[in-house]
Structure 1
Amino acid sequence: MGTKFARFKRNEEVFLGVVEKNQIYKVQADPDSFRDYLEAAVLEAKNFHDETKLEGMQLCDVELLSPIPTPSQIICQGVNYSVHRQETGMDEQKPPFNMIFSKAPSSICGPNDAIIRPQNVKLLDYEIELGLVIRKKITQDTVVTEDNFIDYVAGLVLTNDISARDVQLTQLQWLKGKSYRTFCPVGPYFYLIEQEDVVKISNLQLQLKVNGEIRQFANTDQLLYKPIETLNELAQIMDLQSGDLVLTGTPGGVAMQLAADEMNCMTSLVAQFGEKVEIIERQHSLGNYLRDGDILEATIVSADGSIDLGKQRNIVKNLQSISV
């Protein structure tokens, strides 16, 4: 079974720690260098036993940060669950191609940080996703298999692909609409996987609540393009570096709901901008988009409970309230 790690702040200093139950034990490593972080994590996972532990701290006494230092890239999969494809006006079947896009690394925030809604964003949406943390460089010559998966993927994290739908859809600007600062909560834990965990990645339960109401609930066995397939495809397009994040897609239950004709209009390069604005205006009446003060809670856990990526709890605030 893998080991859970966290980056945390105490007395204005940032540390790396191994997590067990409600305790966190400080590890000697540079928490801002993923290479040092990973080397220390691997060593600590092998040597961490009850009889060798130093005195731990209560998790509630530290500030948990994103468990991964800012990566060079965040690569994302779009509409990778059938139900999510249906609710966005697409064919529910596995498409002939994998939809790939990116988020700015500066969008990352901690698992308990506020999500800041810019003043121009009215349709703020949520997307719980399983994140893969790359262990070592993936290039055109890389072939990822189940047997060597842990050579290339170090571990798993819980992520939320927050999206400004009014920017993403009317402007056809996925990068812009998904890259505002705080639009990618990560953590609280980095789960360092072992070989025995690889099969469990296809049986993880994702759940996201807004103000206590379950909005998203699904299992990673529903992924259309599986992680191994996606990593091999990405290898033929681009290099991935150690510490990069790959987000595997969100299940159904997001706030956005589009009919097929509406999605066709939104993705058209020749449709009038005014037509797209009218569709966006109709989205306001749906009622599920995030509002200031809303609280999001997200979890990812394996069916047997052996993999638990922790719980995110983020409140939505607007930029004006932060600046005053």
Structure 2
Amino acid sequence: MAKYFVRFQYKNQIDWGMVVGENILPLQFGDKTTKDVLAGLQKKSIKPNSKSKNSIRREVVKVLSPITAPCQVICQGANYKKHSLESGLDPKSKTYNLFFTKSDFSLTSAIGDVVRPKHVELLDYEIELGIVFGKDIATPLNEKSYNPSDYIAALFIANDISARDIQLPQLQWYKGKSYRTFFPTGPILAVLEPEDYKYIESLELNLTVNGKIRQSAKANQMVFPPKESIAELSSFTNIRVGDVLLTGTPAGCALKAPGKLKQIFASFFPEHKKWELFIKGQKNRTEYLQPGDTIKATIRTSDGRLDLGEQILQVKQG
């Protein structure tokens, strides 16, 4: 069974702890990196004791991001068919796995604020299943023969917050997705046992805004599942322990591409005018995040075997 950990602050001290019910059992080694925690668990130099009486109630601590910088943040785009369609991509013609990066500068906790920069108007949400690597990858992996459970150490909830009016008109995916607080992670770092890997595809992703469901899908709906994606990643980049992969978001984002007729009409205009029309049209969509909105997100199996906790985020104006 997976073990659940949180990174937290209590009485001005930062520590890691194992979650047992409504309690946290502190590991008492301070503000270590995610990499150090995973390495310690693998070497068994960290030995959580679920019977320890030295526990803290979860409600009295401040939960922090279980993903720590520095780390490489690799993302997959349009990895669910319905999201491809709402983004204006044809799933039949998109036969490639779309990868991009996001800055670890944007890391923030799962319980807290998402700050909309003053110059951003089209702020969007994207619930994603996050994978933490527990083993270095320095040579290409054979997709057919390698065991992904050897490399996937842990799972977490990610929200790939995006400034669409920066990302798309400026063609700045890295910039439009990397402002402060644009990468809420956790609250749980679910450290897997080898037998847990098969349950990944049963995970259900759900996100609400102000209590209304916006995104809902199962992880088995990914176009490129983790095993295939990790093998392809290994062909063009090195991976280090503690690096993360965000596996794409389901349909239901605020972003919706203009219809084909509008796209044809816009193609007759200069590039800057085309994007002005795009932004004007997107501003009519009420789904974009506004100051005061509450975002909640969960990723879990229906039977509760894997449960990555719940994110609760408030949108604030920068």
Kindly indicate whether residue 31 of structure 2 is the aligned counterpart of residue 27 of structure 1. no
Partner of 2:288: 289
User: Residue 284 of structure 2: SS of its match in structure 1?
Assistant: helix
Cα deviation, 1:192-219, whole Å, max 9, x if unaligned, reads 0111111111110000000111100110
Q: How does 1:118-129 map to 2 (within 5 A)?
A: 118-129=117-128
Partner of 2:2: 2
Partner of 2:76: 77
Contact 1:29 1:40 in 2 (8 A): no
Shift of 1:280: 1.2
Kindly indicate whether residue 107 of structure 2 is the aligned counterpart of residue 108 of structure 1. yes
User: Residue 273 of structure 2: SS of its match in structure 1?
Assistant: helix
Give the number of equivalent residue pairs.
316
Shift of 1:262: 8.2
- Extract unaligned runs of 5+ from structure 2: none
RMSD of the alignment, in Å?
Answer: 2.3
Cα deviation, 1:272-313, whole Å, max 9, x if unaligned, reads 111111111111111100000101000000132111000000
Partner of 1:12: 12
Partner of 1:92: 91
Cα deviation, 1:128-154, whole Å, max 9, x if unaligned, reads 000000112112333466863232111
- Extract unaligned runs of 5+ from structure 1: 320-324
Cα deviation, 1:150-174, whole Å, max 9, x if unaligned, reads 3211110000000000001111110
Contact 2:13 2:30 in 1 (8 A): no
Q: Structure 1 residues 317 and 126 mapped into 2: Cα distance closer, same or farther (>3 Å)?
A: same
Paired with 2:92 and 2:313, the residues of 1 have a C-alpha distance of: 33
Q: Structure 1 residues 175 and 271 mapped into 2: Cα distance closer, same or farther (>3 Å)?
A: farther
Paired with 2:81 and 2:223, the residues of 1 have a C-alpha distance of: 7
For normalisation by structure 1, the TM-score amounts to: 0.91
Segment drifting more, 119-128 vs 19-28 = 19-28
Structure having the larger proportion of residues in helix:
1
Shift of 1:32: 2.8
Q: Structure 1 residues 214 and 64 mapped into 2: Cα distance closer, same or farther (>3 Å)?
A: same
Q: Structure 1 residues 35 and 84 mapped into 2: Cα distance closer, same or farther (>3 Å)?
A: closer
Percent of aligned pairs with the same residue?
A: 38
Which letter does structure 2 place at the counterpart of 1:34? T
Which letter does structure 1 place at the counterpart of 2:56? M
Shift of 1:241: 1.1
Partner of 1:182: 181
For normalisation by structure 2, the TM-score amounts to: 0.93
Contact 1:7 1:15 in 2 (8 A): yes
Partner of 2:133: 134
Shift of 1:5: 0.4
Q: Structure 1 residues 46 and 105 mapped into 2: Cα distance closer, same or farther (>3 Å)?
A: closer
Structure 1 moving runs of 4+ over 4 Å: 42-50, 144-147, 262-265
